[in-house]
Amino acid sequence: MRPQRFTATLTADSRGRAFVAVPFDPDQVWRPKPRHPITGTLNGQRIRAVIETGDGQRGFTLGPAWLRDCRDVAIGDRVSVEIRPEGPQRDDLADDIAAALDANPDAGAFFDSLAQFYRKAYLRWIDGTKRRPDERVRRIAEMVRLLEAGVKQRPTDGR
pLDDT at residue 76, as a whole number? 93
Give the pLDDT confidence score for residue 60 in this predicted structure: 93
Which one-letter DSSP state was computed for residue 91?
G
> Is the pTM higher than 0.75?
no
Tell me the per-residue pLDDT of 68-108, one tens digit each, with 9 for 90 and over: 888 788 899 999 999 999 888 887 899 999 999 999 999 99
Q: Can you give the pLDDT at residue 158?
A: 55
Q: Using CA atoms, how far apart are residues 86 and 116, in angstroms rounded to an integer?
A: 7
Q: At what angle do helices 133-148 and 105-113 cross, to 10 degrees?
A: 80
**In the predicted model, what is the mean pLDDT of residues 33-54?**
88
What pLDDT does 2 receive?
82
Distance CA(49)–CA(4), nearest Å, equals 14
Residue 58 has pLDDT above 70, yes or no: yes
DSSP symbol at 130: T
Q: Note the pLDDT of residue 91.
A: 79
* pLDDT at residue 1 in the model: 67
Categorise residue 116: left if φ over 0, alpha if ψ from -120 to 50, beta otherwise. alpha
pLDDT of residue 31: 81
Phi, psi of 65 (to 5 degrees): -65, -40
Q: Which candidate, 102, 131, 13, places its Cα nearest to that of 64?
A: 13
The rounded percent of the chain whose pLDDT value lies above 70 is 97
Mean per-residue pLDDT of the chain: 89
> What is the DSSP annotation of 3-22?
-EEEEEE-EE-TTS-EEEE-
Q: Which domains does the chain have, with CATH numbers?
A: 4-85 (2.40.30.100), 90-148 (no CATH)
pLDDT at 157 over 70: no
pLDDT at 113 over 90: no
